[in-house]
Amino acid sequence: MSKEQHYLTVMTIAILSITITYQIALFGVFTYIWGALIFSLVLYYLLGSILLSSGNFTLQLKNSKVKGGDQLLERLHLHMKINKPFVKRDLKLEDLATTLSVNRQTLSQLLNKHHKHGFTQFLREYRINEAKKLIENRPELSMEGVGYEAGFRSNSSFYEAFKKIENCTPADYKNRLQKAV
């Protein structure tokens, strides 16, 4: 059956169904809403089949691969390691995507797939790792200073993220380091 024949068949069945439904509704067997429901279902079905068959619209699955994902991931980690953009408190996904010359959606999809979390958690992990390095290498900094230098907006967000990722407070982490030495 060609596309045109399929389309005409569906339209004929739809028009007949709607007409019959409204005729039956006149006698009180159905309510008039059934005609509207049938019309809506047929409309959505036809629009979906037209869009999918035209090639202008593709259904993208959640698990689809990002083209060049491994290379992009490598570039992302290298950029994070060398340039440390995460220390900027107002860093946004768009900023990072622009720097890496990819669109926001591609970068977001890559982070969700490879890190099982979104951009915010990815950023927190880099900031916590930076905070741990600061605690180890710059003992003169207060815990608030460490959080600030690592890119956190507030002390509470720093303490909360540190405890969530490291299962201890920053002060406990510092004490453990001092005892180990």
Sorted by sequence, the CB contacts under 8 Å of residue 75 that are 6+ apart come out as 100
pTM: 0.63
Give domain status of residue 60, yes or no.
Answer: no
Question: Within 10 Å of residue 152's Cβ, how many Cβ atoms?
Answer: 26
pLDDT digits (tens, 9 = 90+) for 120-169: 999 999 999 999 999 999 989 999 999 999 999 999 999 999 999 999 99
Query: CATH code at 151?
Result: 1.10.10.60
Looking at 54, 74, 96, the residue that finishes a domain is 54
Higher pLDDT, 163 or 30: 163
Domain interval for residue 166:
123-180
Q: What angle do CA 165, 170, 174 make, to 5 degrees?
A: 120
